[in-house]
Amino acid sequence: MPLVDATLHAFRLLLTGDADLWHIIWVSLKTSVIGLLLAAPPAVLLGYLIAMNRFRGRRIVIWLAQAALSLPTVLIGLLLYLLLSRRGPLGELQWLFSQPGIVFGQCVVALPVLLAFTLAAVQGLDPRYAETAVALGASRRQVMLRVLYEGRFGVMAAVLSGFGRVISEVGCALMVGGNIEGQTRTITTAIALETSKGEFAQGIALGIVLVALALLMNGALMLLQGDAHAARERG
């Protein structure tokens, strides 16, 4: 059966350390992790500030932050393509069809997830954490660190969810990276390419890697939920 043969070939590619296959995986992991690390600090800070402060238009800001989760990544890719193209405002950076461009795209894709999850995590905390810290004379920075520490499980869940979103998206990586062999080809863009060529072995192998990563992310989230539950019981 063609499917069985392709699956067996896929496992052979993974187990024999096929150079092209593992380079694609490396590019995906590298760009996703760097994009996530760049997006996390501003997104967590912004989520904390929105959750902890009352200001005019706050509900609209929260609504926009949550609505951004539904933005198709291909639309984000289109907007970034226009920004990074030669005639775009960021064309001088020459990031289009390059790994820095993919990192920039992954950063933008991760931002709404990190922001929305951090916002929800901080809003769900007991306000007495911040009130107690203020009463004890803590500075704003100390209050923020204390609140984020109490909401650490939610913030870590935000980071894991953000990684799951960027490693599995295809639209932005394809439009900004260009799917160039050996340079900007990621797991998802390679799967799309191999499927269109009718060569399924590499696509299946990369799909197995994505499934393994998804299982790892979900396992980590389950552990975090268990730790959070245990921490609440101790508290």
Boundaries of every domain in the chain: 2-228
Let me know if 149 is exposed, middle or buried by CB neighbors in 10 A (0-12, 13-18, 19+): exposed
> Do the Cβ atoms of 122 and 153 come closer than 8 Å?
no
| Mean pLDDT, range 194-216, rounded to an integer | 90
Four-way CATH pick for 2-228: 2.40.50.70, 3.40.50.300, 1.10.3720.10, 2.40.50.100: 1.10.3720.10
| Cα separation values, 222 from 25, 176, 190, Å | 25, 33, 30
| Cα separation values, 219 from 28, 48, 74, 164, Å | 21, 26, 28, 12
155-193 pLDDT tens trace: 988 998 999 999 999 999 999 999 999 999 999 999 998
125-164 pLDDT tens trace: 988 889 888 898 999 999 999 999 989 888 988 998 999 9
37-75 pLDDT tens trace: 999 999 999 999 999 999 999 999 999 988 998 999 999
Residue 85 DSSP class: S
The confidence score (pLDDT) of residue 195 equals: 86
> Do the Cβ atoms of 138 and 108 come closer than 8 Å?
no
Q: Phi, psi (5° rounding) for residue 32?
A: -70, -45
pTM of structure: 0.91
Instruction: List, as one string, the DSSP characters of 162-209.
Output: HHHHHHH--HHHHHHHTT-TTTT--HHHHHHHHHHHT-HHHHHHHHHH
